[in-house]
Amino acid sequence: MNSDLSPSFQFRNDILHVDDVAIPDIVATVGTPVYVYSRQKFERQYHLLETSIAVFGGQICYAVKANSNLAVLKIFNALGAGFDIVSGGELQRVMAAGADAGRVVFSGVGKSAADIDLALKLDIGCFNVESAAELARIAERARLLGKVAAVAIRVNPDVDPKTHPYISTGLKENKFGVPAAQALALYDFIQSNDHLRAAGLACHIGSQITTPQPMIEALENLLKLIDQLQDNGIELDHLDLGGGFSATYDTEPPFDFADYSERVVAALDNRKIQIVVEPGRFLVANGGILVTTVEYLKPQPSDEHHNFAVTDAAMNDLIRPALYQAWHGVDNVARRDPNAARRWDIVGPVCESADFLAKDRLLTIEPGDLLAVYSAGAYAMVQASNYNSRGRPPEVLVEGDSFSVIRRRETSTDMLRLELPER
């Protein structure tokens, strides 16, 4: 088992528990597939990060896109987090969770006029602006609404985070942010506009970053720009360094926060500016699992062929393996004799060859067994779909020795409700 999961996910009497709740007890109530989250794990991750960045007074803005369930948002709101959003829908979610709009940062390259208007009316903390065209739109919407928009230009520092290309966001070929040279001109525009206020400077170079080095390189580039802005008489409130801190799925080393914090302090060199970080995956990935039932086994007569364990969970419930070639640990919920183990591909019922949760796993499996797919607290339910007209699973939150359904299972009626039958 991934060591980053414990102590929230442990075997007791050969049955996997989430904190003090046995997984079969949850399944008996809600069935499978089901996402199960540990509140204690979420809180421990938050406190670990909070303590690590306290040395430079960092502010955490949870990246809602990682896991946007209202109950999860309420947990981080109660812990004191702000929120990093990328859509008007996410803004409505954090407001429904009781968040202070003044602690919301709005990122993303494609903000619509309706999204911007909503954010302006709610007086959010800051827009992270990704293009000259977006800045012009925000200025115009603010003028029409009689508002002053707090903005930060997101700079693309052209730093390679050494991660999967789909989650790299800080290279010049990526769609995010603007070059530093263009940022200077945009800040001049901000200063000349009565409906804009230069609040900060932002960047985000990617996700699942395992070492501080690329983050520090990006920080050093941004600080040079801040010094240039100060020389031009532009003083900023904050520097948003984005997120990207890695979670351990398999054998990745844990992110070295002690080294990161020490190097951030050294790079700041006594500059007085608020640092904002936007973690998502790091806080929630290993606080959740996807529990699924084995429907059928398709063993093969030869080792030249794959053995398939067909489960009731599929790529529409966890698309990361198909989309990113991501690795997720898999365990039996009830331990079986390891001497009878075979190598299995864990696949779902969706009609795609890409429909797999894990490949080549050494497991002892029987039909009807429950399997736990680890590290499903981030980018699982938020990326789930209704492909093959499959309802999305419920979400369950464990709090100590009790659990509650925080999103019920989606039914066929739910899926059909928005469709208009032919009259």
Residue range 353-398, pLDDT digits in tens: 999 999 999 999 999 999 999 999 999 999 999 999 999 999 999 9
Q: Select the CATH number that applies to the domain covering 9-38+285-416 from these four: 3.65.10.10, 2.40.37.10, 3.40.190.10, 3.10.110.10.
A: 2.40.37.10
pLDDT score for 163: 46
Q: Would you name the residues annotated as active-site residues? A: 351
Q: φ and ψ at 224, to 5 degrees?
A: -60, -40
- 100-279 homologous superfamily: Alanine racemase (3.20.20.10)
CB 318 within 8 A of CB 376: yes
- Do residues 90 and 64 lie in contact, with contact meaning Cβ atoms separated by under 8 Å? yes
pLDDT of residue 175: 57
How far CA 323 is from CA of 4, 68, 331, 380, in Å, comes to: 23, 20, 22, 12
- d(CA 291, CA 264) in angstroms, rounded, equals 39
What would the pLDDT profile of 177-216 be if each residue is shown by its tens digit?
798 889 999 999 999 999 999 999 999 988 889 999 989 9
pLDDT tier at 150, thresholds 50, 70, 90: very high
State pLDDT tens for residues 287-337: 999 999 999 999 988 777 889 999 999 999 999 999 989 999 999 999 999
Q: How far apart (Å, rounded) are the C-alpha atoms in residues 240 and 222?
A: 10
Q: For the residues of 319-340, what is the DSSP string, one character each?
A: -HHHHH-----EEESB---GGG
Q: Identity (one letter) of the amino acid at 244?
A: G
Q: Please give the distance of CA 137 from its chain centroid, rounded to a whole number.
A: 28
| Cβ–Cβ under 8 Å, residues 311 and 346 | yes
In the chain, CATH 2.40.37.10 covers 9-38+285-416
Separation CA 315–CA 344 (nearest Å): 17
pLDDT per residue as tens digits for the range 226-281? 999 999 999 999 999 999 999 999 988 899 999 999 999 999 999 999 999 999 99
What pTM, to 2 d.p., does this model score? 0.94
Positive/negative CA dihedral, 95, 97, 98, 100: negative
User: In the structure, what pLDDT confidence band is assigned to residue 50 with cuts at 50, 70 and 90?
Assistant: very high
Q: Where in the chain is the domain with CATH 3.20.20.10?
A: 100-279
At residue 3, does pLDDT exceed 70? no
DSSP alpha helices (H): ranges in 11-156?
23-30, 39-53, 70-79, 88-96, 113-121, 132-145
